[in-house]
C-alpha cells in the first residue's frame, strides 16, 4: 500500500513541477539562446543513436512482415504494412525508449550533480531563478530535440525497411515505396507524430523533475538516474496505450461523421 501511495505522490510531484515550469515560461521565460544551445547539444548527443535505432526498427518490421506476406504472395504490400506499423505504434515507442536511456539519464545526472553540489542554491543566492536559468532551457531543448529526433528516427525506419526488404524479400525500392500511400493513411501519420511530441514531453518532465529533486550526494544522483529511466519507460508505455485508445475513438467518430 505504501508503494502505491509513493507512486501517486511521484506523479503528483511531477505534475506540479510541470505546472511550475509552464507558469514560469509565461511569467519569466528563459533566453532563446539557451534553448537553442540545449537543443543543439541534445541533438548532437543523440542523433547517431536515434538514426541507428530507427533504421533497425524499420528493418525488423520488414523482416517480420515478410515472413507473413510471403505465404500469401503479397510481398508487394510489404512497404505499406511495415511503414504503417512502424510509424503508428512500434517506431515511436522503441525510439523513445532509446532516448529515455540516453537523454533522460544524462539530463537527470547533470541536474542531480548540480543540486547535490549546491550549484542550484548558489544561483538562487545570486538572485537568479534556477527554473529560468537551468530548468526551462533544458525542458524546452529536450522537447524540441526529442520531437525532431523521433521524427527523424521514423524516417530512418523507412530506409531500414526498404534496405532489408530488398535483401530479405527481393522487393525493389520502387515497389516498396509504391504501396506506402495506399496503406499508410493520414490518421496513422498524425498519431505517430503526436506520440513523438507526447513522449518528448514526458521525457523532459520526468528527467528534469528527478534531477532537480535529487538529494543524498553521489548515491542520490545514481538513484535519480535509475528512477528516471524506469519512470520514463513506464510512463511512455502507459501514455502510448492511452493515446492509441483515444485516437481510435476519435478516428471512429470522424469516420462516422463523414
Helix (H) / strand (E) element for 138: namely helix 136-164
pTM over 0.75: yes
Which of 165, 156, 179, 177 shows the shortest CA–CA distance to 86? 156
How buried is 184 (Cβ within 10 angstroms: 0-12 exposed, 13-18 middle, 19+ buried)? buried
108 in Cβ contact with 228 (< 8 Å): yes
For residue 71, what is its C-alpha cell?
505465404
Rounded CA-CA distance 25/129 in Å is 12
Give me the tens of pLDDT residue by residue for the chain, a chain 258 residues long: 666 777 778 888 888 999 989 888 888 888 888 899 989 988 888 888 888 888 988 888 888 888 778 777 777 788 888 888 888 777 788 888 888 888 888 889 999 999 998 888 888 888 888 888 899 999 999 889 888 888 888 888 888 888 888 887 788 888 888 878 888 778 778 888 888 888 889 999 999 999 999 988 888 898 999 889 888 988 998 998 888 888 888 877 877 776
Q: What range does the domain containing 37 cover? A: 2-257
- Counting the structural domains of the chain, the total is 1
Amino acid at each position: 500500500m505504501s508503494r502505491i501511495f509513493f507512486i501517486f505522490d511521484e506523479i503528483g510531484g511531477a505534475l506540479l513541477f510541470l505546472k511550475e515550469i509552464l507558469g514560469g515560461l509565461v511569467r519569466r521565460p528563459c533566453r532563446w539562446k539557451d534553448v537553442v544551445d540545449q537543443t543543439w547539444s541534445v541533438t548532437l548527443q543523440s542523433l547517431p543513436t536515434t538514426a541507428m535505432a530507427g533504421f533497425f526498427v524499420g528493418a525488423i518490421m520488414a523482416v517480420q512482415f515478410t515472413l507473413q506476406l510471403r505465404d500469401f504472395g503479397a510481398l508487394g504490400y510489404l512497404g505499406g504494412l511495415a511503414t504503417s506499423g512502424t510509424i503508428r505504434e512500434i517506431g515511436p515507442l522503441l525510439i523513445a525508449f532509446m532516448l529515455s536511456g540516453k537523454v533522460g539519464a544524462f539530463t537527470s545526472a547533470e541536474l542531480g550533480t548540480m543540486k547535490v553540489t549546491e550549484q542550484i542554491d548558489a544561483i538562487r543566492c545570486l538572485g537568479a531563478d534556477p527554473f529560468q536559468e537551468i530548468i526551462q532551457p533544458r525542458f524546452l531543448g529536450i522537447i524540441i530535440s526529442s520531437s525532431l529526433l523521433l521524427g527523424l528516427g521514423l524516417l530512418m525506419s523507412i530506409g531500414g525497411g526498404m534496405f532489408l526488404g530488398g535483401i530479405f524479400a527481393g522487393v525493389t525500392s520502387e515497389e516498396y515505396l509504391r504501396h506506402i500511400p495506399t496503406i499508410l493513411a493520414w490518421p496513422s501519420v498524425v498519431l505517430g507524430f503526436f506520440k513523438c511530441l507526447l513522449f518528448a514531453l514526458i521525457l523532459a518532465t520526468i528527467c528534469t523533475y528527478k534531477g532537480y529533486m535529487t538529494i543524498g550526494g553521489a548515491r542520490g544522483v545514481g538513484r535519480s538516474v535509475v528512477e528516471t529511466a524506469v519512470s520514463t519507460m513506464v510512463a511512455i508505455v502507459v501514455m502510448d496505450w492511452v493515446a492509441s485508445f483515444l485516437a481510435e475513438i476519435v478516428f471512429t467518430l470522424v469516420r462516422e461523421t463523414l
